[in-house]
Structures are given as C-alpha cells and as structure tokens.
Amino acid sequence: MSPVSDLKPSTAATTPAGHGPGSAPVDLLRRLRARGAGDPVTHVERVPARAGVPAPWPSWAPAELRAAFARRGVVAPWQHQAEAATLAYEGGHVIVATGTASGKSLAYQLPALATLLADPRATVLYLAPTKALAADQLRAVAELELEGVRPACYDGDTPRAEREWIRRHSRFVLTNPDMLHHGILPGHAQWSGFLRRLAYVVIDECHTYRGVFGSHVAHVLRRLRRQCTRFGATPVFVLASATSGDPATAAGRLTGLPVTAVTEDTSPRGGVTFALWEPPLLPPPDSGSSPSVPAQATGDHDDLRQVRRSALRETADLLADTVAEGVRTLAFVRSRKGAEVVAANARRALDDAVPGLGDRVAAYRGGYLREERRELERALLHGDLLGLASTNALELGVDLVGLDAVLICGYPGTRASLWQQAGRAGRSGQEALAVLVARDDPLDTYLVHHPEAIFGAPVEATVLDPANPYVLAPQLACAAAEAPLTSADLALFGDGAKEAIDELVAAGALRQRPTGWYWRHRERPDVDLRGEGGAPVCVVESSTGRLLGTVDGGSSHFLLHPGAVYLHQGVSYVVDSLDLADGCALVHTEEPDWSTHARDVTDLSVVSVRSYVDAGPVGMFLGEVDVTSQVVSYQRRRIATGEVIDTRPLDLPTRELRTVAVWFTLSPQSLTAAGVQPSDVPGALHAAEHAAIGLLPLMATCDRWDIGGLSTALHPDTEAPTVFVYDGHPGGAGFAERAYGTASAWLRATRDAIAECGCETGCPSCVQSPKCGNGNNPLSKPDAIRVLDVVLANLPA
C-alpha cells in the first residue's frame, strides 16, 4: 500500500460516464467553452501530476500511534511530514508551508500525539481560524481512537455544561484565536492545569492571520506565551500554512519566536487543468438585449459594448452546467451576498431544466447559524449536495473529499488564496478542473491577460504589523487585565511596548506601581481582533422574531441600511430599520425587482510623514492620515436591466479612521507638459486612483476592500495634485507600507492594466470602481495613463 497524504478516508465522487480520470477535466472544460458564442478562455495552464516521496516513520513515533494511522490508511509519512514532525518533536518551532492536501495535519499530529501518549500529563492546544476547520480536525483526531487523548472543541458553540469538563479533562483542545482571546486567557486561573502542562501549540492555516487580524493574533499568542511562562511551561509552536513567501519570517513575526520552515512538498498530487475565464462582452443596447448595468456605470451609452457579463451570473451558469453533468463543484464567491446570488441563480437554472435538481445546490457563508453550517457540511460530504457556492469560509483545510471542479468567482486577493481554493478539488489524487472567472475589475482583467502573474510568480509574503499602536495598546491592556505587566514583558511585546504603556498610564487605563503596571478598571478591555468596526449586527425577521444571521459591524452601514436588500439562503429581505446601538436590523421578506447600492463620501487629512522620496516633479510619501467617511445615500437599480430607479438619502453616523497611507504628488507643470489639461486633472487622478487600488493586491496580501483611496487636483495638506491609497483599518495593516516599498512595480502594473484595456473611455475592467462614492465621475482613462507615465518616468526603480 502506498502512503497517503491525508488522514481522512476518500469518498471521491463518481466520474461522469464516458470520461476517464485523465480526460474528464479537459473534456468538461471543452464542453463549458462551447456553450456560448466566442471563447471566454484566455489561458489554460496544465499543472502536472506529481509522485510522492515517502519516508520511514521516525524512530520516536510509538507503535500504538503508527498502528492508529495505519488503520486510517497512512502506512508511512511523506518526507516533508517526517522532517517537520521531527523538528517539532526535538523542541524546535517549525512551520510547514506546503500545498493544499499535502498532509500538513500529520506533520503536527505526529509529534503532538506521540508526546501525549508518552506523557500522560501533557496537553496540546490547537488553533484554527474557523470553527469548521476545528470541527474537521476534531473528527480526524477522534477517529484515531487513542486512549487518554480526549480531544474536544472549545468555542462559542460549545455548551456551557461541557466547558468545565473540557478544562479539567481534555488533553487536546481545539479552539480559535477569538476564544483564546475572549475566554481562555481571561480565565487563565481556571485553565492553569492545562496551561502548566502545555507541550504544543498548533496554529493551523496561519497564512490567514494577516493585516490587522494577524497583528492582533500575534499579540494574543504573546499573551499565551506569557501565561505559560508564569505557569512554568514552554510549549513548542508548530504552524501549518499554505505555500507563502518567506514563511519562516512571517511565522516568527506572528509568534515572536525563531521558526524553521519546511517548504518542499513531497506529497503526490493529481493533475489540475486551470483555466482563466473572461466573461463575454454584453451586446450594445440596440442589439435587442438588455444590458446588465446602467448607462451611468460607464457614463456613455456608446461604451456599453465594453461592459462584460457579470462574473456572478457567469459563475452561476457554470455551476449549473457542472452540477447538471453530475460533477461535484465548489464555487468560491468573494462576498456573502454574491454567494447567495450564485446559488439562487444556479438553482433556478437547474430547476428550469430538471425540476427538483436545484435542491442539489446551496450557499454556504459566515453568518449562518451553527445548525445550518453543520448540515451543509454534512450534505456536501455525503453527496446530497452536488454544488455549493461559498465564501472563503470553505477555503481552508476542511476536507471536502470527492470534488471534481472548483469555480473561483473573481481573484480572491492573493495567489496563496487562489491556490488554496483551486486545491479544494482533486483531493483524492484524481484529475481536477479549476476555473478563475474574472470580474469586470482592473486586477482580474490584468491577470487573465497576464497568466505569468499567476503561474510564474512566487506566492506573496504574509503582511502583518504587531507594532501597530492601534493593536499594541489594546493588547497590552488585555495582558495587564490578566496579570500586571512587568519590565520583563516589554521585550515579549516588542517595539513600541513602553511607549504604548506610557500612553495607557496617561489615559488612566493603567496604574504604575513598583511591581509593574496594573489594569485599573473592573471590566476587561473590549478588543475586536478582526478590526471589523464593532460588534456583529443581528439580522432579525420582524414578523416572527427569527434570527436570520449576523453581519459584522464594519459592513452594516453598507449592507443593512434602511431600505437595503438582504439575501439569506436564496430568500430576499428588505431592511426596515437599523439600530446600531442595539446591534439589530429588522427585515421583512420581499422579492423586489431592484437591488441596492450604498454610496459614501470621504475626506482625508495628513497627520505625519514617515518616509518620502523626492523625485523632482513627483513625490512619493508614506505616513499617517485621518480619514472621515459617511454612507450618505443608496441607489436602487433594476435587476434585469441595471437601470437606476432612484437615489435615496440616508442618515447614518460619520466614521473616523486614523490609518497609514501611501500617496504621490505631481507638480501642475509636469501634468501640463504631459498633455493633461487643468480641467482634466480631477478625472485623470481619480481614474489612476481606482486602478492603483485595484492592482495593489498584486503586491500585498490584501484585496481592494481592505484599502481605500482619495484623489484631488489640489489637496490642502500637500498643496499639489495628489493620489492617496490608505489601509482601511485603524493604525494600518501593513498594506500601504508594502505599496510604498514596491511603488514602481505596483504603478507600472497599474499603468499597463489601463493601457491594455480595450475600452476607449474607461470601464470596470480598468478605471471604474464598484465602491466609488462619487458614482465613477469624473474619470479620464487617457489622462490617467499620462499621469502614471509622469510618475514612472521620475520615480526611482
């Protein structure tokens, strides 16, 4: 028997009749390409199959554990698994950064379980970014049936009656950073027995800890290390990650420890046929077909031929086609609303073809209640569902065995996420199909026409900044509430810790005494790890009082404003009221023939400059800024035609944000010399700003919704024409720094994306933005190219 890279049994889907394992993806892609006029595929990449490199079991692995793995079909580890496991068992902190389905779980389970079997007092803490992943790992460990391990999940869904038993008796606790932050560390006295004996901390899918969330998690881990030290424990940290750039440095920044990386993937892999798919152009209005976007979206009826079919509709049709062929398919969609739309449209198309077949498709996203999530996971696992439209909630290591195809609706923001999502198919070594469906967006358009940016480029490094003062100070407050801070703790929390403590003392949050710094308040600090702008808002059906789901506070102004259309499991609701103080939105069922689109206004002022480059007529800056924004209105648009029905005002509170920005200035004389007339400067800068925001994810581990921008022909703080791009999180998330450090490459890709777009005056594929608060007006595509030419001609490489 050959070794296998996964610990769970295979339940591969039946291959469609007439298609062998090698030809099925290619044949399926051929049929999908032939279903419409023209060929939407811009590139097909063949990722070849790979043979595995097995290794003998480490000599320290007990016979009982080897036998348990053998019962699961694992007769030997792969070489990278054995290497990482041995490093950890010998006491080294290690990160295994290999591809999807490469068996990373064995790399940490092997040393952790071997230690639990050898030392009946030892404990293990496992951290996952999602509850679904923790539940999946619980099943894997429990099915090994090892005596005395007693694995258990401890999260927000755990009944209170079980929590005391877990604290006292479980030796392998699976949880998430939020529960560690809100529950375990504040209750460290109750967890003292577990923490005193902690041998390993496993951090799964650690590449997801980026930006503000990653920076918070970095300090939660430091707080964990601090409590372990107080109880006399020095656990080994074992991290698992998707393939990423410089994983050892990222893991070291996350944990604050020296970490060794194991990156050579020696597991076997089935071949993948990877297609880049650009939805077709919509016909002009006089062709008899209705455009799917309003004329205002382009500002010109003659340019409607440049507008492409929605990626959501294209993905829904592809999902319906694959399900109709009996192909188990997972469609990844960027937003919760988008996942609902794709699932609803696919169900409708399938029911039109074969009544009842639409029941084999569902949506899956965060915000669902626990029972709904578990039922959907079960239905997909057992084949009751053939198609699932999901947000990235299912991107991570949940074992979705037997999938034949993955559809990716829009570039997910990073190459690491792209390969994670594509790797969901072909889990049992069979051939698989992956399709990236491009949105009408500068980055997506650039990528489908520059496949080397996907298939020939290294995976990004994970960006996080533990020194962010808006993260560091609240985390130090949490640490002080758990136990007084001492001078010895300053090195643990890193650069800026002393300054942050001094500010907390000045603000009256901490009191300094000879023995350290003490938390002064009765209640604990209220710190949001994810930086999402407040507590979740509950969505409640007004007629029944039924809780439908939740929306994070930061998105509530856009998604749950009065009059907004809210989708849940294919059912449409309209928001009656939004109570931000109580965190509740009341909705009623309604199927309107219109959709809603919130619009906001933004103002920005420069606080300080960290660094700058003086390039003659061009200046490039990095610094702190204050951003003020307010959702002021929303548009209602006809679903069938995209026609704007009306714009309605909103009265929502202003939001203020101090963050980090990158910006460039140009002299008016350089713009005039480049042929940009003074009246065209606002449209030129606005178009360049939109495209620059759209292309930044090519350089940093972010997407355009993590960042914002503003452009002006004369900014009062710079006294020059200026384009700003800023992090959308308090204190910054590291993205602006990355943009500043790669400014030439970033703006070169931006300029190329605009210049290579086939439209004449600007479209969503180059300079229009779906999040523009000014309705994409004014915009000047030709002048945006001239602006970027001036910048690139003067800026050092």
Per-10-residue mean pLDDT, the chain, length 797: 27 31 73 84 92 95 96 93 98 92 92 97 95 87 94 91 94 96 95 97 91 91 97 97 84 96 91 93 55 32 54 94 92 87 94 93 76 77 86 64 85 83 75 92 86 82 80 95 95 93 95 95 87 75 89 83 85 92 92 87 94 96 95 85 86 90 97 96 95 87 80 96 92 87 94 88 81 79 96 93
For residue 693, with 0-12 CB atoms within 10 Å meaning exposed, 13-18 middle and 19 or more buried, which class applies? buried
What pLDDT, on the 0 to 100 scale, is given for residue 308?
78
Cα gap 144→68, rounded to integer Å: 5
Element (H, E) at 214: helix 211-230
> Phi, psi (5° rounding) for residue 574?
-115, 135
- Beta-bridged to residue 387, according to DSSP, are 329, 361
User: Among 44, 597, 559, which residue's Cα sits nearest to residue 296?
Assistant: 597
What pLDDT, on the 0 to 100 scale, is given for residue 222?
98
Place of tokens 């988008």: 338
User: Among 19, 12, 23, which residue's Cα sits nearest to residue 46?
Assistant: 23
Segments of 159-285 assigned E as strands: 172-175, 198-203, 236-241, 260-262, 272-277
Cα gap 537→557, rounded to integer Å: 10
C-alpha separations of 259 from 52, 83, 179 in Å: 26, 14, 25
User: Among 94, 472, 487, 35, which residue's Cα sits nearest to residue 263?
Assistant: 94
Q: For residue 520, what are its two tokens?
A: 């002064």
What pLDDT, on the 0 to 100 scale, is given for residue 374?
74
pTM score above 0.85: no
* Rg from Cα positions in the chain: 27
Q: For residue 743, what are its two tokens?
A: 């400014």
Q: How many CB atoms lie within 10 A of CB 492?
A: 17
- H, E, C per residue of 700-759: CCCCHHHEEEEEECCCCCCCCCEEEEEECCCCCCCHHHHHHHCHHHHHHHHHHHHHHCCC
Cα gap 108→103, rounded to integer Å: 10
Packed helices 104-118 and 131-142: angle between N→C axes, nearest 10 degrees? 50
Q: Give the N- to C-terminal CA distance of the chain in Å, as an integer.
A: 54
The DSSP result for 605-641, as a single string, is EEEEEEEEEEETTEEEEEEEEEEEEEEEEEEEEETTT
Cα gap 339→632, rounded to integer Å: 26
C-alpha separations of 359 from 32, 58, 558, 591 in Å: 22, 48, 30, 20
What pLDDT, on the 0 to 100 scale, is given for residue 512?
94
DSSP structural state of residue 283? P
Cα gap 150→171, rounded to integer Å: 6
What pLDDT, on the 0 to 100 scale, is given for residue 243?
74
DSSP structural state of residue 468? -
DSSP structural state of residue 177? H
Element (H, E) at 524: none
Cα gap 626→623, rounded to integer Å: 10
Cα gap 136→609, rounded to integer Å: 47
Q: Which residues contact residue 694 at a Cβ distance below 8 angstroms, ignoring those fewer than 6 apart?
A: 441, 442, 443, 704, 750, 753, 769
Cβ atoms 445, 757 nearer than 8 A: yes
Let me know the angle formed at the C-alpha of 599 by 596 and 605, rounded to the nearest 5 degrees: 160
What pLDDT, on the 0 to 100 scale, is given for residue 3?
29
Element (H, E) at 572: strand 571-579
Q: For residue 71, what are its two tokens?
A: 């019962």
Cα gap 469→253, rounded to integer Å: 16
Cα gap 587→559, rounded to integer Å: 12
User: Among 204, 224, 250, which residue's Cα sits nearest to residue 398?
Assistant: 204
Cα gap 162→484, rounded to integer Å: 30
- H, E, C per residue of 359-425: HHEEEECCCCCHHHHHHHHHHHHCCCCCEEEECHHHCCCCCCCCCCEEEEECCCCCHHHHHHHHCCC
- List % helix, strand, coil for the chain (3-state, nearest 5): 35, 25, 40
